[in-house]
Amino acid sequence: MCVNRLKPRQVLRRTVFYISGFDPRGPLHYHRLYSAEAAKQSAVNGQAMTVSKRRNEGSLQSLWTVETGTTTTQIRFLRYEDIVRKQWPKNAADMYRGIVRYSWQFLRMGVFARIWRNSWPGFLAVIYPPVLLLAMFLAALLLGLGAAALVTPWIGSFAYLAIAAVLALPFAIYRLLEIGLNAFWLARSCTFLVDRALGNVPGIEDRCAAFADLVAKAVISGESDEVLLVGHSVGTHLAVTVAARTLDKIGASHRFSLMTLGQAMAMTPDSDVARQFRADLATLSGSEQVDWIDVTSAVDGACIALSDPLALSGVSRADGSRAQPKLVSARFNKLFSPQTYATIRRDFLRTHFQYLMASELPGDYDYFLITAGDTTLAQRFAHLDSVTGFNRFRMGQT
């Protein structure tokens, strides 16, 4: 059934549901981030914003209110950090096993190849942890063999015990790699995606269903002019599931908005859970009840920039169906001075979180006007066409 488009109107009340990436820090961190960055962005867009204190509402959500002109927005942070903490590697051995696990599944299921074809920077990002791990253990092995060869004339075969000792070095320098090189944060996300695809994340599917209940309740109530679901990073994968389950629960006359930030749908291995995920992508793409905007940036090496999530996941659209999401570039290079932009793009983690942060200059992408301004998501980007033909990072294409 085709739903009639809403005529452009001012948003007086909005409800935002936010799903973070694979991050154990929870709502306290994200409330502080939103409050601090909204204050900075006000100086850029000229729109005063008042962010309330945060409060918990049950175990599933934490919320705060944003007052912007005549618009009141309630931001509801959907909580799954308890699940993240259970999945979070506790030590070097856990981390290294996770890297081996996701690398094997990515290789076996063709995920590495899919990422390579669509984004060589994304490929370098996901291949970096296993290459680093392999290089560390090979270097330790060679060092151990060399040390053993040097001392063998004096202590005989006992010298080869040095090999076992030196192989402990990758474990000894784990914290240095973690803190100094920030080497493993993307590896954790990849491991989580693999574990979820294989059904090895207890509680996550039930949590998504519970999130969908909350979103559907807000949509059906009609109390908000816009209900906006936002997913960032790994949260985009969960947001797709939540949005699809929400469609199952609302009537044909209701609609909502979906914004995915920094998505990397190509990182989803093929499995029973992933096949459901692909079906959800197809459902959302053709739905007239969802306005879906996908925002990425070419400078964000942790995403597959300006690429159709359905194509990345091997999903075909039905003939004549609505084609979404609309692909939008955040154009971070236009939101900062050349000097600041050069600094940001050198920080791998910062670029992936810039979607949630303030800019120096005004532009089409303004996270705070999107989530708390007086215009719906679809209206805000109505003047832009979906980006097509972005082949800058695709192998064998120009």
- The structural domains of the chain, ordered by start, are 13-84+202-380 (3.40.50), 90-187 (no CATH)
Do the beta carbons of residue 276 and residue 238 sit within 8 Å?
no
Closest CA to 232 of 22, 16, 14, 15: 22
According to the model, what pLDDT value does residue 153 have? Answer: 57
Structure tokens at 124: 């370098």
Secondary structure in 3-state letters for the chain: CCCCCCCCCCCCEEEEEEECCCCCCHHHHHHHHHHHHHHHHHHHHCCCEEECCCEEECCCEEEEEEEECCEEEEEEEECCHHHHHHHCCCCHHHHHHHHHHHHHHHHHCCHHHHHHHHCHHHHHHHHHHHHHHHHHHHHHHHHHHHHHHHHHHHHHHHHHHHHHHHCCHHHHCHHHHHHHCCCCHHHHHHHHHHHHHCCCCCCHHHHHHHHHHHHHHHHHHCCCCEEEEEEECHHHHHHHHHHHHHHHHCCCCCCEEEEEECCCHHHCCCCHHHHHHHHHHHHHHHCCCEEEEEEECCCCCCCCCCCCHHHHCCCCCCCCCCCCCEEEECCHHHCCCHHHHHHHHCCHHHHHHHHHCCCCCCCCCCHHHHHHCCCCHHHHCCCCCCCCCCCCCCCCCC
Look up the pTM and report it. 0.92
- Angle (CA) 375 376 378, round 5°: 125
Q: In terms of Cα–Cα distance, which of 14, 2, 1 is closest to 379?
A: 14
Residue found by looking up tokens 């509801």 in the block: 76
pLDDT for the residue numbered 5: 45
Distance of CA 45 to the CA centre of its chain: 26
What is the block-wise mean pLDDT of the chain (398 residues), using blocks of 10 residues?
52 98 96 98 96 96 96 98 96 95 91 87 91 91 71 59 75 83 86 92 97 98 97 96 97 94 80 82 93 96 89 80 91 96 92 97 97 96 91 67
Q: How many Cβ atoms from other residues are within 10 Å of residue 82's Cβ?
A: 12
Question: Which pLDDT does position 3 carry in this prediction?
Answer: 42
Q: Which two tokens stand for residue 195?
A: 């574990």
- Report the distance separating Cα 88 and Cα 60, nearest Å: 19
pLDDT at 4: 42
How far apart are alpha carbons 247 and 342 in whole angstroms? 42
The angle, 0 to 180 degrees and rounded to 10, between the axes of the packed helices 120-155 and 185-197 is 110
Evaluate whether 246 touches 52 at the Cβ level (below 8 Å): no
How many CB atoms sit inside 10 A of residue 70's CB?
10
